[in-house]
Amino acid sequence: MAMRPTAEPAARTTLASPMNSAREGSLRPEIGFTPEPTLVHERVIEWFEGNARPLPWREPDCTPWGVMVSEIMLQQTPVVRVLPRWELWMQRWPKPADLAAAPTSEVLTAWDRLGYPRRALRLQAAAQAMVERHQGEVPRTAAELRALPGVGEYTAAAVACFAFLEPEVVVDTNIRRVHARAFTGHALPGKTYTSAQRRLAHELMPAAEPDDGATACAWNASAMELGALICTARAPQCQACPVADLCAWRAAGSPPATQEQQTRGQGWAGTDRQVRGAIMAVLRTGETVGRTELLDELPLPDASQEQRSRCLDSLLRDGLAADDAGQISLPGAQGSASQGPGGPVAGQTAGTGSAGLAAVEHQAQRLGE
DNA sequence: ATCCAGTCGT
DNA sequence: ACGACCGGAT
């Protein structure tokens, strides 16, 4: 696992591909032109070396805990909104044990307006589970990570890969889109992650030596970054894409997304999510208020009494709020202690400037020490 | 209205 | 497999 700093980048090693034997691609009747994965790997990884954003959780000195915190915060949340919260979070709770011992009210306040605050609850529950089951350390394997609260298929693979260089198949919304365009020839991947897409993602992984996760991780990080910066959902920057000439979607004439591929909007105004968010915004100020006053002061004139009440009850059930004899506040002490029936959701149970592949290499170094 | 490094319960 | 779950920006 240990890689010397002067070692040749993993991307330079020969990449074997199980798919096509042709040098540049193949013509499949039902799809059209399909590029040779090996060539795409080489191009995208090289592009990543010079174009990756210098994100702190990709720095060589970032701990696995820092990687994990970033992955949770980044769920359905853009990088620019995560950055400041992540910095404060890591400064305040540099290890899982620190977060595990923190008052939940402080955890939710620090989460601020990142959205989906149940993620903060689950992250604290995950930290507590790591203290109990993993000696306060972030576990190394995707299977162990997957068992933690708030860690799904994507996050388990991402933490195992980016923090420990495990050769996991990482598939997020960016990567699904890159695959859909470059290899399947579709404008968008569709709403649901299908088994066919999962199979394709596995087939597309570079086949490196069994013990070398660096190449797999470089491909994961590179494809993700390409989707985030170039192969974006709308107005992709194909003129700056390193594989524009290999892209199946481009080869097909860049057909627009079909109705099937469109993602239905979730809506916001008038939803319970908006009302819950408004309640949480009040509680985050640190205020402790009577149930009636709290519901009355919500800045949502269109929300019915019934909806307000229902949303507060759901927050109490989720462990995002606490009710002390009619006085509502953020939940006080650590995580699971005194909650309503059922308990809280959490329950128990790049080198500085250019970063890029250099960061992956440095991670390898650190792990080898 | 759509998108964003998704997860969870039904 | 589908909907709920936050919030800001385009």
**Which residues neighbour A298 within 8 Å (Cβ) at sequence distance 6 or greater?**
A275, A278, A279, A282, A308
Total domain count, chain A: 2
Between A322 and A12, the higher pLDDT residue:
A322
Same domain, yes or no, for A97 and A140? Answer: yes
Give me A16's structure tokens: 């074997």
Angle A184-A189-A191 from CA coordinates, rounded to 5°: 155
Domain annotation covers residue A337: no
Together in a domain, A195 and A325:
no
CA distance to A121, A123, A128, A338, per residue, from A347 (Å)? 9, 11, 10, 11
> Using CA atoms, how far apart are residues A331 and A16, in angstroms rounded to an integer?
53
A20 touches strand C (CB under 7 A): no
Q: Is A71 a catalytic residue?
A: yes
Give pLDDT, residue A11. Answer: 35
Question: Nearest CA to the C1' of C2 belongs to which residue?
Answer: A192
Domain range for A220 is: 1-262+346-369
Regarding whether A239 and A318 lie in a shared domain, the answer is no
Tell me whether residue A325 is exposed, middle or buried, using C-beta atoms within 10 angstroms of its C-beta: 0 to 12, 13 to 18, 19 or more: exposed
Q: Is residue A320 located within the same domain as residue A289?
A: yes
More reliable by pLDDT, A339 or A138: A138
Residue A277: CB less than 7 A from any atom in strand C = yes
Residue A231 in any domain: the answer is yes
pLDDT in tens, A78-92: 999 999 999 999 999
In one letter, which amino acid is A298? L
A215, A282: one domain: no
Range with lowest mean pLDDT among A23-32, A135-144, A289-298, A319-328: A23-32
Give the pLDDT score at A27. Answer: 52
Nearest nt to A76, CA vs C1'?
B4
Residue A4: which pLDDT band, with cuts at 50, 70 and 90? very low
Take residue A298 and report the two structure tokens written for it.
Answer: 């919500």
Q: What is the pLDDT of residue A263?
A: 79
Residue A16 clears pLDDT 80, i.e. is over it: no
Give strand letter and number of the nucleotide nearest A345 (CA to C1'). Answer: B8
For residue A359, give the nearest of A218, A225, A224, A229 by alpha carbon.
Answer: A218
CA of A80 to C1' of B4 (A): 10
Query: Is A124 among the domain residues?
Result: yes
Positions in chain B where some atom is under 7 Å from a protein CB = 1-9
Q: With contact defined as beta carbons under 8 Å apart, do A145 and A127 qualify? A: no
Q: Are residues A100 and A166 in the same domain?
A: yes
Task: Please indicate, yes or no, if residue A78 is contained in any of the structural domains.
Answer: yes
Q: The domain spanning residue A320 has which CATH number?
A: 1.10.10.10
Which nucleotide has the least CA–C1' distance to A173? B5
Of A229, A204, A169, the C-alpha closest to A356 is A229
- Name the residue with the least CA to C1' distance from nucleotide B1: A265
* CA–C1' gap, A146 and C7, in angstroms: 26
Model confidence pLDDT, tens digit, residues A319-351? 999 999 999 999 986 544 434 333 343 333 333
Q: Is the CB of A116 under 7 A from strand C?
A: yes
A341 part of a folded domain: no
Q: What's residue A260's pLDDT?
A: 80
- CA–C1' span, A272 to C4, in Å? 9
Work out if A118's Cβ lies within 7 angstroms of strand C.
Answer: yes
Q: Closest Cα to residue A148, out of A346, A319, A318, A342?
A: A346
Same domain, A149 and A282: no
Residue A285 is assigned to a structural domain of this protein: yes
Question: What pLDDT score was predicted for residue A98?
Answer: 98
A302 and A353 share one domain: no
Can you give the distance from the CA of residue A226 to the C1' of nucleotide C9 in angstroms?
Answer: 20
| Token code pair at residue A98 | 């620190």
Look up residue A367 and give its two tokens. 């792990």
For residue range A300-323, list pLDDT tens digits in order.
999 999 999 999 999 999 999 999
Whole-number pLDDT of residue A35: 83
Q: Supply the CATH number for residue A217's domain.
A: 1.10.340.30
Whether residue A213 is found in the same domain as residue A252: yes
The mean pLDDT value for A151-179 works out to: 97
Per-residue pLDDT tens digits for A217-263: 999 999 999 999 999 999 999 999 999 999 999 999 999 998 888 87
Residue at A335 is within a domain: no
- Whether residue A309 sits in one domain with residue A233: no
Mean pLDDT, residues A158-181 taken together: 97
In a domain, A253, yes or no: yes
Same domain, yes or no: A11 and A155: yes
Catalytic residue among A42, A49, A71, A225: A71
Whether residues A7 and A39 fall in one domain:
yes
**From the Cβ of A320, is strand C under 7 Å away?**
yes
